[in-house]
Amino acid sequence: MSMELFNGKVLPIEISDELKKSFIDYSMSVIVSRALPDVRDGLKPVHRRILYAMNELGMHPNKGYSKSARLVGDCMGKFHPHGDSSIYDAAVRLAQNFSSRYPLIDGHGNFGSIDGDSAAAMRYTEMKMAPLATYMLADIDKDTVNFSPNYDEREKEPDVLPAKFPNLLVNGSSGIAVGMATNIPPHNLGEVIDGVVYLMDSEDNEDGAPRPGIRDLMKFIKGPDFPTGAQIMGTEGIISAYTTGRGSIKVRAKANIEKIEKNGKMQIVVTEIPYVVNKSRLIEKIAELVQEKKIEGITDLRDETTMKGIRIVIELRRDVTPQVILNQLYKHTQMEDSFGINMLALVDNTPKVLNLQEILEYFIKHQKEVIVRRSRFELKKAEDEAHIVEGLRKALDYIDEVIEIIRSSKDDDIAKAKLILRFDFSDRQAQAIMDMRLKRLTGLEREKLDAQYQRLMDEIAYLTAVLNSDKMVRGIIKTELKEIRDKFADPRRSEITFDATKMEIEDLIADEDVVITVTHRGYIKRLPLNTYHSQRRGGRGVNGMSTGENDFVESLFIASTHHHILFFTSRGKVYRLRAHEIPEASRTAKGTAIVNLLSLAQDEKVTATIAVKEFKDQFNLLTATKNGIVKKTSLQDYDTKRSDGLIALTLDENDELIGVRLTKQDDDVVIATRLGLAIRFSEEDVRAMGRTARGVRGISLRKDDYVIAMDVVDKTASDLELLTVTENGFAKRSELSEFRIQGRGGKGIIGHRVTSKTGPLAAVKVVTADQELMVITDEGIVIRQEVSGISVQGRSAQGVTAMRTGESKVVAVAKFVSKEEE
């Protein structure tokens, strides 16, 4: 900069002060003149200038299309001295039906796509105002808004548009200023207008009723309504945004699960996607997840979108659960997206975060001002016209004399002066008469003038009444709003689900039956139930896992992947996992060390397990120990997520838990011992105890005998049998009626005759004939067969061979699964 500007002087300035001042000036310029919309018309300066320039150029809906370049040039040259691309991009967005809920520009040509394609160059495309946009500019020529000089003071531009509808809510707005940003979602025009009318109706109430609140307005304005449709999950974020001006909502793609007729496979068809999500990138992301095997089960992915609407087709494998795949897509792609709402707008050129009611009230205030200013303009115009008509009526009474004065005068000024002097005309009346040709003056009709005068006087009276009545002003606003609603309102596109479905991990995992095994040395694994196929009685089974030296299978059970698995340990504690949290392994794999999944202490081992779907208070948990102690506790007492476990029961020295079962208050209990004895007693004989209690005796044991199994008899079920399996693979079914109900603590009766041939009793289960049996040996050999294949024998029989175990293969566990559960 030339030193001459400072007269040769150097002025020292603190750079921090200069930066602070300059940056504040810059930031305020961005906030007010570029990035934030005005609360009254919902437009940023560039959009306002585009619409005003279109109005000035006559690019109205009833006219033909004009080149976009014509608009951009005119807008840039007169009102918006910035880059032509910024003006064109803003105009294109106003024309895109996937960006604007109600486009204000009617575009002709390539205006881009939801795939992110750019619009054609402005020299190719054409545009004009959309019909709704005319209501943004209606009555702008009637002094309804203030005008200011443009950037070079050669033109005038409006500070705000009349905006006959609440465009800020209807089309929304987004922009990043300096240190602040706005993100207002679009809404349904009909709902917003209904909300405004309701709010204005409350002003008309004269009974002192309280003003409506946000909840009252939400009966009309349900929530955002995006141009791309989709589902809004829950109302919590909407309520927060409408109450405080800030909130976040989850928007989820609309998808249907359909069956393909030609091959019977299932497919997911996506017909609506969240707002501002790029469709092509969404499809690319799905393909990427499939390629990386983060989502498995998708066999084909196609984009079948047409002019009629979006259609993304995702074909699935036969063996997958479609809802699980859909949930995974919601979780890992923008098929579910968050929309952060920040309703920041300019109020008197000052940025302010507004709630729903404030936005509507500022709009109503603006409309009142527009109606009042329009009425004043029209009143003045009507009064001026009535004044002229009044003069013409008077002139008509003396038409011959008036004509004579005009003809006899040397010039117009003399004639005008004579008319004023003779008839007491005002200067404007006399000038109006002088401006009329004599032919027209002589052709004036009394009836027409009188009718015109009366119409003008009625109009004057009406406009005067409007200006003196706030209620009439509100009535006009409501009438005009209803006219717009009736003409442009359409059905809601975005469906709102009133229960926000928070995605749980279980939603991403198929609910299927699995087999879980636990070994003596503490290895655990999970694998699908269909890994093991059913065999006939006496089969040898298949290798179920590879056990290490001095290790063998101790527990096998079936559960759903969504079940909670309770692990009871040798220290009387209980731990909890979801079944799907247990790593899946191959049929012959050893599995995962359970200490990597549970926070077990040193020398603490799992001794019993149970699968629980829900922790309901109508269920009890019944435990049985090796020494014959039983305890009943409410299932809810075990509902814990503590990683360090929970005390489950108090164990005697040299005792351990061998079985856990759910009961329904009125079941019977069956306990069996290694030497083949069994006792059946009523659950009511065992009183409910606290979680940490020891329990009571369930069976009296002989020397060298101990409890190996416990099960529950549902007395409401029919055709129940007691199935017993020995360590050498002998099994039988016995009628439960053979096991009479005894008192708790008795010695029991023979339930299975054990010999050196059969080996000791290994497992007992209450079954029905339509169930299946799974048996696993200590070496990991598994056999699965139908229970109906096991013969029915008396309780003192030794059974038949269910599995050929060989001399060294001892049955460790038997478990049974109902066919219906698969």
Amino acid at 52: Y
SS3 content of the chain, % helix, strand, coil (to 5): 35, 25, 40
Neighbours of 686 (CB within 10 A): 20
Q: How far is CA 365 from CA 41, 87, 477, 619, 805, in A?
A: 12, 30, 11, 62, 89
Instruction: Tell which residue, 503, 424, 10, 477, has the closest CA to residue 234.
Output: 503
Residue 28 CB contacts under 8 Å (≥ 6 apart), including other chains = none
Beta carbons of 55 and 140 less than 8 angstroms apart = yes
Helix 356-397, helix 399-408: angle, nearest 10 = 80
Q: 523 catalytic, yes or no?
A: no
CB-neighbour burial class of residue 520 (10 A; exposed 0-12, middle 13-18, buried 19+): middle
Residue 590 CB contacts under 8 Å (≥ 6 apart), including other chains = 523, 525, 545, 546, 547, 548
Residue 632 CB contacts under 8 Å (≥ 6 apart), including other chains = 620, 621, 622, 663, 683, 686, 687, 688, 689
> CA-CA distance, 729 to 402, in Å (whole number)?
133
> CA-CA distance, 532 to 774, in Å (whole number)?
9
Using only the alpha carbons of the chain, give its radius of gyration: 43
CB-neighbour burial class of residue 533 (10 A; exposed 0-12, middle 13-18, buried 19+): exposed
> CA-CA distance, 630 to 622, in Å (whole number)?
7
Containing H/E element for 513? strand 513-519
The residue written with tokens 């049955």 in the block is 811
> CA-CA distance, 153 to 148, in Å (whole number)?
9
Residue 185 CB contacts under 8 Å (≥ 6 apart), including other chains = 172, 224, 226, 249, 275, 339, 341
- DSSP strand pairing (606-612 vs 620-625): unpaired
Instruction: Tell which residue, 53, 43, 695, has the closest CA to residue 366.
Output: 43
Kindly provide the residue ranges of all beta strands, DSSP E only, lying in 328-395, ordered along the sequence: 336-342, 344-347, 350-353
Tokens found for residue 363: 């709009």
Tokens found for residue 811: 């049955």
Tokens found for residue 157: 């531009």
Q: Give DSSP secondary structure letters for 763-813.
A: EEEEE-TTEEEEEEETT-EEEEEEGGGSPB--TTS--EESB---TT--EEE
Q: Give DSSP secondary structure letters for 30-61.
A: HIIIIIS-BTTT---HHHHHHHHHHHHHT--T
> CA-CA distance, 141 to 468, in Å (whole number)?
23
Beta carbons of 114 and 312 less than 8 angstroms apart = no
Containing H/E element for 523? strand 523-528
Full 3-state SS string of 450-484: HHHHHHHHHHHHHHHHHHCCHHHHHHHHHHHHHHH
Instruction: Tell which residue, 649, 632, 639, has the closest CA to residue 616.
Output: 639
> CA-CA distance, 125 to 91, in Å (whole number)?
11
For 182, list phi and psi in degrees, rounded to 5.
-125, 145
Of the residues 26, 65, 88, 124, only one is catalytic, namely 124
**Positive or negative, the Cα torsion across 109, 111, 113, 118?**
positive
> CA-CA distance, 34 to 28, in Å (whole number)?
10
Q: Which residues are catalytic?
A: 124
